[in-house]
Amino acid sequence: MTFKREALRKYFIMGSQNCHRDPNAVLEEALAAGITAFQYREKGTGSLNGKEKLQLGKELRECCRKHNIPFFINDDIELASALEVDGIHVGQDDMPIEEVRTKFPDKIIGLSISTQEELNRSPLDLVDYIGVGPIFATSTKEDSKQTVGLEWIHTIRAQFPNIPIVAIGGIQIENAHSAIEAGADGVSFITAVTEAEDIKEAVNKL
């Protein structure tokens, strides 16, 4: 799948550990409501492993295929092939981007960037987009870094006018617009959808 930056507009991230009910149902509702990308992030307390992780990944992957939106895997390079993912999102402590790009020349690759130092040492020419955050406070990620604020989006945008940016961390209906105004191409979110009473309304308002 070729990458279009518009795919970052409403980028939903989730794993079974984020859901109070069947993750397939949660994803189906979010897809029907108009999310533009999905990342399978099966990670942290209560998450699945091994065969169960693979099985759920296959199911969620199929949902995305039906709706023709890009399906990303978080970190798990081995599952990337098994799930025929469209893209891979890696953090600073995961496999180096050079290796990911060599292994997957045609896949969409996203990289998390939280500091100027990370920005300086990252081979941005090898990635398709960067995930920038945590913008606001979040309790969803157990090892979350210090919040960087909207200013960080402005700072990166000033240095890289064309790089596709998706904002992450504490993105909710009320603040999503501020990330776009700061220069992000889109917003990514977990609890804004997994904790929503009405997923359709949440995705629409985001």
Enumerate the active-site residues: 41, 112, 141
Is 170 near ligand TZP (CB under 6 A)?
Answer: yes
b/e code 175-198 from CB counts within 10 Å (16+ = b): ebebbeebbbbbbbbbbbbbebee
Q: Which one among 29, 94, 118, 195 touches Mg ion, defined by CB under 5 A?
A: 94
Q: Which one among 189, 196, 199, 202 touches ligand TZP, defined by CB under 6 A?
A: 189
Residue 122 labelled as part of a binding site: no
Q: What are phi and psi of 162, to 5 degrees?
A: -110, -5
**Cα–Cα distances in Å, from 158 out to 6, 110, 182?**
20, 20, 10
**Nearest to ligand TZP of 24, 191 (CB atom):** 191
- Residue ranges of alpha helices (H) inside 8-126 are 23-33, 50-67, 77-82, 97-103, 116-121
Contact assessment for residue 75 and residue 40, using Cβ atoms and an 8 Å cutoff: no
Q: What are phi and psi of 35, to 5 degrees?
A: -60, 155
**Nearest to Mg ion of 110, 183 (CB atom):** 110
* Spatial distance between the Cα atoms of 85 and 141, rounded to a whole number of angstroms: 23
Q: Which one among 71, 85, 87, 138 touches ligand TZP, defined by CB under 6 A?
A: 138
CA nearest to 110, candidates 95, 123, 128:
128
Q: Which one among 144, 155, 175, 178 touches ligand TZP, defined by CB under 6 A?
A: 144
| Least distance CB 188 / ligand TZP (angstroms) | 7
Is 17 near ligand TZP (CB under 6 A)?
Answer: no
Residues of this chain that bind ligand TZP (CB under 6 A): 13, 133-134, 138, 140-141, 144, 168-171, 189-192
Q: Binding site: which residues?
A: 39-43, 74-75, 94, 112, 138-141, 170, 190-191
Residues of this chain that bind Mg ion (CB under 5 A): 75, 91, 94
